[in-house]
Structure 1
Amino acid sequence: MTGSCGRYTVATFLGLLSGQKVATVEQRLYEWCLDAKDKGGKQRQELVLSTCQLALLQWIIRLWVGTQLALTLDATSLGDRFVVLAVSVVYRGCGIPVAWTVLPAGAKGAWRKEWLRLLRLLRPAVPPEWTVIVLADRGLYAGWLYRRIVRLHWHPFLRINNGSKFRPQGRAHWYWLKDLIGTVGHQWQGRGSCFKHPASRLECTLLAWWSEANEDPWFVLTDLSPTQSSVTWYGLRSWCEQGFKCNKRGGWQWQLTRMHHPERAARLWLALAVATLWMVSVGTELECRTNLDDPDLPDLQALLDHKPVRRIRLHRLGRLWLLVEAIARQALHLPRQLLPEPWPAPLSPTQAVLAPCPEVPP
């Protein structure tokens, strides 16, 4: 309701709502973020974040309609204080964080251990028969990440840098990626070996596309066959950036936090994640007009016009709905079903030209 994750702002709102002293409420919110050793008393406990993150994804799975799930791996920063490594469920133009770790900005050390821990943590929440793709930008590509995703029986969808080589199946020659794609408007896909150096070589499917909207072509590696996947699915990855925006200036104003302890900030992120899930789920029913049980709720379809561009983010739409219900003294809707949009369709011949495999130079 406040559109803020500021502790004093939220405490003031809850204090006025419940008739309690603001200082008392603020102290409770403060201690909720602390480690057990930093709390007063001998029987105080701390929030175990990993348990809550697993439960959060299980909650999303129960609300989800369908058996296709797209996860993204990405990092976001807060000035020179924090770097957050986050796994998000991407949904209708937004990202819902489901597992994350907050690190001090500038801290030395690789992120490999953290990424592997987050993926391993989430695996039990997803039914084995579901199709899960894991998307990451080229800055996060690593062979160990690709192999771990496959080992979890999920499907990597990892973009790589342009300066690599690929050997199509049945060919002896290695090609630079840029030679496979040709020019703007072309696509290429096929099985083969990526990375010429034996230590980093990978047997995989390469999906390549150079869209007119992008400055550089996409080169995406996956374990799915070319007929079971589409390079257009990589476009889902950008939705996680909208989720980060919802945590900051587009929603909960986390950029204004005064926290300096990574562990405390990570617990605050749990509140932000649950709030985001709540907002996008109730916003879904306004956008899709499904299961609405309030005949007095205005039809917002004329405002939304989300094809091809969503006029208002689900995060904001859901919060507007709750404000309307509060003003009208109606019961607030709790999280509702999640109705994901179909994944982007494969490119048609009119959208992109399938570039032939280039001839071996003399």
Structure 2
Amino acid sequence: MNRTQALSEWKLEVSSRMPHLSKPQAVVLALWSFGIVFTRSCGRVTVATFLALLLGRKRDAVEQQLYEWCVEARRKRGSKRHELDVTSCFVPLLRWMISMWGDSLQIALTLDATTLSTRFAILVVSVVYRGNAIPVAWTIVPATEKRAWRRDWLRMLRLLRPGIPSDWTVLVLSDRGLYARWLFGRIVRLGWHPFMRIKAGSTFRPAGKATWVKLRTLVTAIGQTWQGRGTCFQGEAKLTCTLVAWWGEGYEEPWFVITDFDPEACDVAWYGLRTWCEQGFKCTKRGGWQWQQTQMTDPERAARLWLAMAVASLWTISVGSALEVPADGETDLDLGDLPELRALLGTTRTGRPRRIRLFRLGWIVLLVRALNHQSIPMPQRLSPEPWPTTPPYHPERNERHDAPSARE
């Protein structure tokens, strides 16, 4: 493979997946994400230097191209200046992922927030997948700005709704700090299923009961579970819902999760999927694209850079995931030496914890194939794992069971 063939294929891939973008916008998105993957950095100078050496171009010219993709129209050169609306890319990015999702008709989204020192607060909706998370919508605001996040969360969920087929089961997970009645209601109205952890100090009135109880009284021992319909919270905040609870091995306190599922149709262990979003944040920072080193101060420019990082993450994670797909699921893959790669790495599907994150594994595969002058695989078919289940509770034997793994 020559030095630019992989980049040319990647440009075609990005353009076909983001058909709403102009050709220059799609090309620079491909340049940004390609450079991010192979330098493991989202720094503009680093990516521009790599691309300049790869393409035989002047670094200043490449850097200007990358810069103008991120900035608003008034700061660009020329008369045909257009500003990239990053929100227009949320549904195409999600549909890109859905098209690769294999045979599963269920998907889990997480809602969470992260920060970059005292500069930015980032609200992120991610798809969780095999121990990691890929952002599909985000809002970046100044960290010091005092504002309610309600409109931002509602807007992102509304924008994403057309990206998932209506017959799919969609789980939307959030931690204790993000529970709100209005958010629960919006998720239900979208036809999705909230799975929201609430604080242990809350109260609950089981269906058919007259008295309220503290959540802590429902689960009192490690391994114990509780689930049922009822009313959560008192006063104006009260909510009719299903409550599922579990105290897992290794956790300091139980999980208390509210949802609209029937009690028999869900498993509290699903909440463990939410922690995978932490791995996604790690990959944007020191574990991957080095976002913590960015010098950007403008939230809108930073949001455009996040698009390039999200596309780069989808690529690397999908390639790493291809090594965990069973042999009978390889027919649509273009990694011709996939069995040999699995044998070399000792990759199995025995349920043991991963020794290396799919994100890092995918990056290694891309790098090695580039060094060996082999074809560079484009994004691969995704094969989501079954959602976790709660281990059985045996109080008579005083057994202690491991929690379903949400970490690697």
How far apart are the structure 1 equivalents of 2:196 and 2:71?
36
Out of 206-215 and 275-284, give the one that drifted further. Answer: 206-215
**Partner SS, residue 39 of structure 2:** coil
Label 1:349 to 1:298 Cα distance change in 2 as closer, same or farther (>3 A).
closer
The alignment status of 1:151 with 2:195, answered yes or no, reads no
TM-score normalised by length of structure 1: 0.94
Deviations 1:258-284 (A, max 9, x none): 000000000000000000000010111
Q: How many residues align?
A: 352
Would you say 1:333 and 2:377 are equivalent positions?
A: yes
One-letter amino acid of the structure 2 residue matched with residue 327 of structure 1? L
CA distance in 1, matches of 2:182, 2:382: 32
Aligned to 2:264: 227
Deviations 1:228-249 (A, max 9, x none): 1000000000000100000000
Mapping for residues 169-180 of structure 1, pairs under 5 Å = 169-180=207-218
Q: How far 1:47 sits from its partner (Å)?
A: 1.1
**2:19 corresponds to:** none
Partner of 1:41: 78
Contact conserved, 1:11 with 1:29, CA < 8 A, in 2? yes
- Quick one: percent identity of the two aligned structures? 57
TM-score (norm 2): 0.83
Q: CA RMSD in A?
A: 1.7
Aligned-pair distance for 1:345? 1.8
Q: Deviation digits for residues 96-144 of structure 1, max 9, x if unmatched? A: 0000011100211110000000000000011000000000000000000
Q: AA paired with 1:81? A: R
| More deviation, 261-270/208-217 | 208-217
What's the offset of the Cα at 1:305?
7.5
Q: Given the alignment of the two structures, is residue 134 of structure 1 paired with residue 178 of structure 2, yes or no? A: no
Shift of 1:41: 2.4
Residues 1:164 and 2:241 aligned together: no
Tell me the distance in 2 between the aligned counterparts of 1:251 and 1:316.
8
1:1-362 pair list within 5 angstroms: 1-65=38-102, 66-197=104-235, 199-288=236-325, 290=327, 291=330, 292-294=335-337, 297=341, 299-302=343-346, 307-350=351-394
Name the amino acid aligned to 2:118: D
Note the C-alpha offset of 1:301. Answer: 4.5
Note the alpha carbon deviations across 1:174-193, whole angstroms, 9 max, x for none: 10101111233211100000
18 and 28 in structure 1: CA distance in 2 versus 1, 3 angstrom threshold: same
In terms of mean alpha carbon deviation, does 133-142 or 39-48 score higher?
A: 39-48
Q: State the Cα distance separating 1:328 from its structure 2 match.
A: 1.2
Structure 1: segments with no counterpart, 5+ residues: 354-362
Letter in 2 for 1:286: L
Query: Structure 1 residues 185 and 6, CA, compared in 2 at 3 Å: closer, same or farther?
Result: same
Q: Which letter does structure 2 place at the counterpart of 1:294?
A: D
More helix by share: 2
Moved more, 276-285 or 177-186: 177-186
Gaps of 5+ in 2: 1-37, 399-408
- Shift in CA distance, 325/289, structure 1 to aligned 2, threshold 3 Å: farther
